[in-house]
């Protein structure tokens, strides 16, 4: 978890990934959508490219670069949806309007939930992290 947060856990990186998933591809598009300072955007785009989450490609005009999600970046989709849905449940007041993620038919995306192999809901009381000890190999531990 700590490695993941180090790669994509800051606010701007996640918002850049979200906007890339929503079609943003150029420095200007990211800057205009996010209202982010140029130096911060430059740093976050560089880091996302270095970590293999975004890749740079020549723009059709050939004058500039565009940013596209890599396979690793695309793989963050479920994470972004989960964070969005958490926010829809907990970051808005009762009755406060907010955007809704919909599928290609316009239907709201169903709530994501962790389930086991048989489809039963999982939670903090039904899971644990099996930690790896350098000296003895895998062992049971707690989430964190």
Give me the CATH number covering residue 9.
1.10.10.10
The reported pLDDT for the residue numbered 140 is 57
Note down the domain range covering 65: 1-105+129-144
The reported pLDDT for the residue numbered 60 is 85
In a domain, 54, yes or no: yes
Q: Is the pLDDT confidence value at 73 over 70?
A: yes
| Rounded Cα–Cα distance for residues 39 and 31 (Å) | 10
In a domain, 110, yes or no: no
pLDDT band for position 63 (50/70/90)?
Answer: confident
Average pLDDT of span 2-26: 93
Tokens of 18: 């979200």
Widest Cα–Cα separation across the chain:
56
Contact residues for 93 (Cβ-Cβ < 8 A; gap 6+):
none
| Rounded Cα–Cα distance for residues 48 and 40 (Å) | 12
| Rounded Cα–Cα distance for residues 69 and 56 (Å) | 9
In a domain, 77, yes or no: yes
Q: What is the pLDDT of residues 122-139, one digit of tens each?
A: 999 999 999 988 765 555
């Amino acid at each position: 978890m700590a490695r993941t947060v180090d790669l994509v856990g800051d606010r701007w990186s996640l918002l850049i990934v979200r906007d890339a998933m929503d079609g943003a591809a150029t420095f200007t598009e990211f800057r205009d959508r996010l209202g982010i300072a140029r130096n911060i955007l430059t740093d976050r785009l560089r880091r996302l490219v270095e970590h293999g989450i975004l890749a740079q490609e020549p723009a059709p005009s050939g004058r500039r670069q565009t940013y596209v999600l890599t396979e690793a970046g695309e793989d963050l989709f479920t994470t972004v949806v989960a964070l969005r849905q958490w926010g829809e449940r907990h970051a808005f007041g009762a009755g406060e309007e907010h955007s809704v993620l919909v599928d290609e038919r316009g239907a709201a995306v169903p709530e994501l939930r962790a389930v086991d192999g048989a489809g039963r809901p999982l939670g903090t009381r039904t899971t644990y992290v099996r930690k790896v000890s350098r000296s003895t190999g895998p062992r049971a531990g707690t989430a964190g």
